Amino acid sequence: MDELAAATEINWPAGVHEVFRRAGVGLVTYVPDAGHTALIELCAADDDMVTNVLTTEEEGVAIATGAWLGGKRSAILMQSSGVGNCINMLSLPVIARVPLLLLVTMRGEWAEFNPWQNPMGRATQASLEAIGVTVLRAETAVDVVETVEQATTMAYDGDQQIAVLLGQRLLGKKRW
């Protein structure tokens, strides 16, 4: 296990932030989500990254497309329920072959208490794949860092649209 993976075994958000830095991600857009909080805070504190709060997830797809056209790499952070909000907008980067990197925290899985999260949790991967987005999944802290690293290469070097699904078991049981 390399130093980066070892360091992030406990703190995967720090590892993902480092992957973003190495990949030249300069813009991170997001709808606030507890599963992404630590990563959002790291990106917001980074002078080389701009963070942008979205009112809805599909705005992030349009912003990411515009950022790429303007010469900037970006990442979108969202929850699985937000995937349903942006399915139609995802046709833009798919058809235009614009690199897209999505990190999606899953709901409706491990120890889910909110039944409203279950339908989109079940449909997230299939919905993304149906629109043409490649889906990778991460279930452990080491998986997250390694998977996001590969996803950045696939997206930015291969002009692909990649979603990394972060399993709910990794994030832990939500408490309200």
Q: Residue by residue, what is the 3-state secondary structure of 97-164?
A: CCCEEEEEECCCCCCCCCHHHHHHHHHHHHHHHHHCCEEEEECCHHHHHHHHHHHHHHHHHHCCEEEE
Rg (CA), the chain: 15
- Residue 75 maps to a domain: yes
For the chain, what is the domain count? 1
Encode pLDDT of 35-44 as tens digits: 999 999 999 9
Encode pLDDT of 68-90 as tens digits: 999 999 999 999 989 999 999 99
Cβ distance 21 to 46 under 8 Å? Answer: yes
- For residue 153, give the CATH number of its domain: 3.40.50.970
pTM of the model: 0.90
Name residues whose C-beta falls within 8 Å of residue 165's C-beta, 6 or more positions apart in sequence. 80, 104, 106, 124, 125, 135, 136, 137, 138
d(CA 53, CA 31): 6
Cβ distance 123 to 115 under 8 Å? Answer: no
- Residue 176 maps to a domain: no
- Residue 139 maps to a domain: yes
The per-residue pLDDT string of the chain (176 residues; one tens digit each, 9 = 90 and over) reads: 455 555 445 699 999 999 999 999 999 999 998 899 999 999 999 999 999 999 999 999 999 999 999 999 999 999 998 999 999 999 999 999 999 999 998 876 666 667 677 667 787 999 999 999 999 999 888 899 999 999 999 999 999 999 999 988 777 666 66
Domain enclosing residue 125, as ranges: 3-171
- Residue 45 maps to a domain: yes
- Residue 62 maps to a domain: yes
